[in-house]
A and B are shown apart, each in its own frame.
Chain A
């Protein structure tokens, strides 16, 4: 097959979708008349769009549209519930820090606990807003699909490693307070904190990072 044939094969697709200039249509017809390879390609690919349409239509006939619509409503309800968390966290966090900070924390760890928690909560708020910003951004700009994905997946991987490092450190600090903390309340708080941050680290390491790695491998 010559390079010309490659060009004509591309033009076969353009003609099928009505995007080929009339002058090129005539040239394509002339080429097809004398080229068995391109005729075979035209025959093999000519019905693809119709087959794809038919296959999708066949499956769409079995979709329960009411269930899908109900699913959309479910997502809306869940999103509205999440929105309540934003003011709740914004007001509850400083209040909790003010009211209880001086009582339950060892003075040496007094700065570390609230700082760690504050950063985690800020990250959570940022995570709530991110999918929305992402949808709006792609709808406006239409960034190149896969290049954009690879960038996003890599950013997610870096962020996840940062979370692992930060939460791992927080878990260790809290574990230390549970082991060596002076008061019973501080020990309990440290143990619960170590458990929570440890679980977060374990989730990132066992589930999130492997998923990102698989996704990157697939895109690549």
Chain B
């Protein structure tokens, strides 16, 4: 879900207000961005549980960093930048040598079984990509982020973003072939 510039400015104003108002605005912020932040975290971490942990840290870091937000970038860029940083950190914390967390498989109707298997293959293939490639793929998979915003989030020139995206797409296609 994308937020208009006016909505965003109003939300930022509320977030800088008195504590009671700020808490209400934070709930609003959480509800607006939770799905996007979760998607990003999920693509960058190893499991849903890790993504949920990372999400908590993202919103907590956001709460602490918001007073420093001066509107030099959009709020979405600001949030995604923190999300990428926190999720990558979470990924590095849970080493690949650690035992994989076992998550209960969701109940699926027969018709959805194939889709589930495809998703499992996709997650396994993503696991083979480098952190840089996963990051750029995850950001491009989110709706509504321009390549300029993605370059600003990752902190590299726009040209680098395209070459990184290409390498990631190519590797993922090869892994899924």
Real binding pair: yes
- Asked whether B56 lies within 8 Å of A71 as measured between CB atoms, the reply is yes
Measured in the bound complex, the distance between the Cα atoms of B51 and A48 in whole Å is: 21
- Asked whether B132 lies within 8 Å of A145 as measured between CB atoms, the reply is yes
Chain A neighbourhood of B118, CB < 8 A? 51
Chain A neighbourhood of B78, CB < 8 A? 139
Decide yes or no: A52 and B43 within 8 Å by CB, A14-B162, A44-B173 being known contacts: yes
* Shortest Cβ distance from residue A163 to the other chain B in the assembled complex, whole angstroms: 19
* Shortest Cβ distance from residue B150 to the other chain A in the assembled complex, whole angstroms: 9
Measured in the bound complex, the distance between the Cα atoms of B73 and A142 in whole Å is: 10
Measured in the bound complex, the distance between the Cα atoms of B153 and A94 in whole Å is: 44
A-B contact count (CB 8 A): 162
| Contact-residue size bin, chain A (C-beta under 8 Å from the other chain) | 35 or more
Cβ-defined partner of A218 (8 Å) among B92, B106, B119, B142? B92
Residue interface mask B86-100, A partner, CB < 8 A = 1: 001100110111000
The verdict on B4 contacting chain A, using a C-beta distance below 8 Å, is no
Chain B neighbourhood of A14, CB < 8 A? 147, 162
- Asked whether A219 lies within 8 Å of B155 as measured between CB atoms, the reply is no
Chain B neighbourhood of A53, CB < 8 A? 39, 141-143
- Asked whether B162 lies within 8 Å of A145 as measured between CB atoms, the reply is no
Interface on chain B toward A: helix, strand, loop, or mixed SS?
Answer: helix
Choose among B39, B82, B152 the residue with the greatest number of A CB atoms under 10 Å from its CB. Answer: B39
- Asked whether B166 lies within 8 Å of A149 as measured between CB atoms, the reply is no
Interface on chain A toward B: helix, strand, loop, or mixed SS?
Answer: helix
Chain A neighbourhood of B126, CB < 8 A? 52
The verdict on A63 contacting chain B, using a C-beta distance below 8 Å, is yes
- Asked whether B97 lies within 8 Å of A214 as measured between CB atoms, the reply is yes
- Asked whether A63 lies within 8 Å of B95 as measured between CB atoms, the reply is no
Chain B neighbourhood of A51, CB < 8 A? 118-119, 122
Decide yes or no: A135 and B92 within 8 Å by CB, A63-B52, A141-B155 being known contacts: no
Measured in the bound complex, the distance between the Cα atoms of B52 and A69 in whole Å is: 10
Measured in the bound complex, the distance between the Cα atoms of B166 and A44 in whole Å is: 12
* Shortest Cβ distance from residue B169 to the other chain A in the assembled complex, whole angstroms: 4
Chain A neighbourhood of B68, CB < 8 A? 136, 139-140
* Shortest Cβ distance from residue A49 to the other chain B in the assembled complex, whole angstroms: 5
* Shortest Cβ distance from residue B147 to the other chain A in the assembled complex, whole angstroms: 5
Decide yes or no: A145 and B140 within 8 Å by CB, A72-B59, A72-B60, A211-B95 being known contacts: no
The verdict on B154 contacting chain A, using a C-beta distance below 8 Å, is yes
- Asked whether A149 lies within 8 Å of B88 as measured between CB atoms, the reply is yes
Chain A neighbourhood of B140, CB < 8 A? 13, 17, 49
Decide yes or no: A219 and B92 within 8 Å by CB, A138-B81, A145-B84 being known contacts: yes
* Shortest Cβ distance from residue B123 to the other chain A in the assembled complex, whole angstroms: 7
Cβ-defined partner of A68 (8 Å) among B42, B52, B69? B52
Measured in the bound complex, the distance between the Cα atoms of B162 and A79 in whole Å is: 39
Residue interface mask A67-90, B partner, CB < 8 A = 1: 111011011100100000000000
The verdict on A126 contacting chain B, using a C-beta distance below 8 Å, is no
Cβ-defined partner of A146 (8 Å) among B69, B132, B141, B163? B132
Q: Which of B104-154 contact A (CB under 8 A)?
A: 106, 118-119, 122-123, 126, 131-132, 135, 137-138, 140-143, 146-147, 152-154
- Asked whether B119 lies within 8 Å of A55 as measured between CB atoms, the reply is yes
Chain A contacts to B: CB under 8 angstroms: 6, 9-10, 13-14, 17, 19, 41, 44-45, 48-49, 51-60, 62-63, 65, 67-69, 71-72, 74-76, 79, 131-132, 135-136, 138-146, 148-149, 153, 211, 214-215, 218-219
